[in-house]
Amino acid sequence: MVSIISCFPHIVNLACKAVISAVTNIDYAADDAPEFSPQHSDQDPIASIRAIVRAIQILETLKEKNLQLLQDVVTHWSSTFLMIERATLLRNAIDHFLSSNKFPELRHLCLESADWDLINMYKKILEVPHAFQQKLSGEATPTLSGAIPSFEAVIARWKQMKHEMVSMSDVIQEGIEKLESYMERISDIPAYTLAMIINPNIKLRWHQQHARDRVGAIKEMFITEACLSAYIMHNRGLAQSQPMPHAAY
């Protein structure tokens, strides 16, 4: 059961890595990766941000705000989202710092307006799964019943964003396809559906709205599982009530 419950963050991680890999070379996030040089490489604003973070580490000009740039790591997709989110927040300070005469050796890292536009679009795309993951992980008692509705909500929002951000359609589709492939697998795992049915805030309402053709089969599955559980509990009760045999001397 533990491995099943941990599926949501794992699957979201895979979907987001598919999106991130479509827009940046994630190899540059490795500790031993060569330094990214925007002058000699294809356009990669995220790799540029990463290079800026490594070059500057803590911006002297940001001490008054008590903020610093964040660096991502290969193993956590959310760290890439947090890195670019913080960079967009500190854009003015970054631009000012890199264009100043104080550190001319860093001037080649300056980002154009078009680069910042791309970074903002990437941030919007990754905000969707990040918000749902934060919601589930922030619950006092993590619940399996929220997994399938959250998957569907992320997919629905990403599909909507494909029309809102046409230039990013192919990038978003990478994440959608990854989520949909895993949705097909977990839809056959009874634990997810049963957790939704016994949740008083969900019961059959979600399936009645999003999967009406499965409602009948889900009811039958619930009755079967309930009868099986009752049978097992009954047999355990009988076994515990049986007197222990006396040892022969």
Is position 225 within any domain?
Answer: no
Residues 201 and 185: their CA atoms lie apart, in Å, by 25
**Per residue in 78-136, pLDDT tens?**
888 999 999 999 898 888 888 888 778 778 888 899 999 999 999 999 999 888 777 76
Residues 150 and 107: their CA atoms lie apart, in Å, by 43
Is position 199 within any domain?
Answer: yes
Is position 246 within any domain?
Answer: no
User: Which of 63-67, 116-120, 215-219, 232-236 is least confident?
Assistant: 63-67
Over 60: is that where the pLDDT of 246 sits? no
Residues 85 and 110: their CA atoms lie apart, in Å, by 17
* Count: domains in the chain: 1
What pLDDT sits at residue 5?
A: 45
Is position 31 within any domain?
Answer: yes
What pLDDT sits at residue 100?
A: 80
**Per residue in 29-39, pLDDT tens?**
776 667 776 66
Is position 83 within any domain?
Answer: yes
Q: Is the pTM of this model over 0.95?
A: no
Is position 72 within any domain?
Answer: yes
**Per residue in 161-202, pLDDT tens?**
999 999 999 999 999 999 888 877 777 677 777 777 777 677
Burial of 66 (0-12, 13-18, 19+ CB in 10 A): exposed
Q: What is the mean pLDDT of residues 12-28?
A: 84
Confidence of residue 138 (pLDDT cuts 50, 70, 90): low
Is position 243 within any domain?
Answer: no
By C-alpha distance, which of 136, 150, 218 is closest to 182? Answer: 150
By C-alpha distance, which of 175, 176, 215, 178 is closest to 197? Answer: 215
What pLDDT sits at residue 3?
A: 43
Q: What is the DSSP letter of 60?
A: G
Range of the domain at 140: 2-210
By C-alpha distance, which of 206, 231, 204 is closest to 219? Answer: 204
Is position 227 within any domain?
Answer: no
